[in-house]
Amino acid sequence: MKSLIMISILMIFVSGWTYPPGWRDEVQIDPSEQCAHCKVIADGSSKVHCAYRHLGETNPRCSDLWYGRSTDTGIEWTREQLDVTPPPVADRSCDIAIKDSMVFIPFEMAQNRNNVYFQKSLDYGELWLPEGILITDPDALGDHSSHPGIVVDDTLLHVFFADNRNGKTNFEIYHSVSTDWGDNWSHPNGRITVADSNSWHPAVTCNGPSVHIVWGDNRGDPSNYEIYYNRSDDHCQHWVYGVNPGGLRLTSIAGRSDYPDIASYGNTIHVVWWDQRKFGPGIYYKRSTDNGNTWEAEVKLDADYGSYPAIAADERGVYVVWQAGHQAACSTPEPARRECAQATGSHRLGCQY
């Protein structure tokens, strides 16, 4: 713990970075230094839940699925491994959602092709299904269904994921819905992008009748990913910015803008992403206060050592989680800390242990 604190202090000293006004210092969620790709959600009653990948005992990739819970707005955390025994998978390979005492986690599992499965708990994560439920179409072509994102939409569960069934270098965003809290999923999966190159890393949130989704996309220029956004006001039957090619572009700068996450509270939509722009790389934040119709200017939340951000929001504010360090997750023994900053109002707060 002492070394972690020293690393954190050193990073801040070297980078000269300080949080924007009002942000709490970061919180370490998992002490192992070997976890990655955390997704986080808050339920409005001081509980904050996260799902993430962990180094397996014998495999250098993130082969284990873990669940973390805080009951005090993210200050103290408990953790447990979920017994789904997935083989190693790629980044952004799980997500988390909640409804009352139910906790839902879609995750990516490597088989003959990588597929998206679903896990749930009915009691705040105390007990989980004995095995995952398949969301991907069983006969899908290609070799990857990846990067699942899940949201609760009234009595519906939606899962979005990236899929290369249309070509190995052309991931598209696909969708499946469940009307029975995840016991069954719609097939065939619906397609909501038709764009060249990779449309992937979807993240999703819901407020009232609207479902909001963001993803990274390198359409038109394989060297430059940008963040795209879309919204459905009819439970994902139709999309405001279309599905061919699909979406509204939120960023416009050379360099990779990717790995977005999204959260909402009321009519305010919050987006974070990892931007590897040449000048000023780091974790960026952008919001809309009119349900995604117009967007404010971006704000830089973290210096260039942060990556893979995730965000949640409740009436207390905004919670952002990211991974420290430049290293690809779990590919090296480099520290891969989880950090958390909490905001109230627009951008505030910060937490450090």
Which residues would be at the binding site for Ca ion (CB under 5 A)? Answer: 170, 172, 195, 199, 224, 226, 253, 257
DSSP string, 4-52: HHHHHHHHHHHHT--PPTTEEEP--S-TTSBEEEEEEEE-SSS-EEEEE
Question: Residue 272 and residue 283: Cα distance in Å, rounded?
Answer: 7
Tell the residue number behind the tokens 């839940």, with chain if given. 49
186 or 224: CB nearest Ca ion: 224
What are the two backbone dihedrals, phi and then psi, of residue 151, each rounded to the nearest 5 degrees? -150, 150
**Which burial class, exposed, middle or buried, applies to 112 when counting CB atoms under 10 A from its CB (0-12, 13-18, 19+)?**
exposed
195 or 318: CB nearest Ca ion: 195
Q: How many residues does the chain have?
A: 353
Q: Is-contact 133 101, C-beta < 8 A?
A: no
26 or 226: CB nearest Ca ion: 226
Please report how close the Cβ of residue 170 comes to Ca ion at its closest, in angstroms: 5
Please report how close the Cβ of residue 234 comes to Ca ion at its closest, in angstroms: 24
- Helix ranges (DSSP H) in 179-220: none
Please report how close the Cβ of residue 272 comes to Ca ion at its closest, in angstroms: 15
Please report how close the Cβ of residue 348 comes to Ca ion at its closest, in angstroms: 27
8 or 199: CB nearest Ca ion: 199
Candidates 226, 184, 188, 192; CA nearest to 211 is 192
2 or 278: CB nearest Ca ion: 278
95 or 226: CB nearest Ca ion: 226
3-state secondary structure of 3: helix
Please report how close the Cβ of residue 3 comes to Ca ion at its closest, in angstroms: 35
> What are the C-alpha distances in Å from 12 to residues 97, 214, 304, 333, 334?
32, 30, 11, 21, 17
Q: End-to-end CA distance of the chain, in Å?
A: 9
Please report how close the Cβ of residue 169 comes to Ca ion at its closest, in angstroms: 9
**How many Å separate Cα 230 from the centre of its chain?**
16
Please report how close the Cβ of residue 309 comes to Ca ion at its closest, in angstroms: 15
197 or 344: CB nearest Ca ion: 197
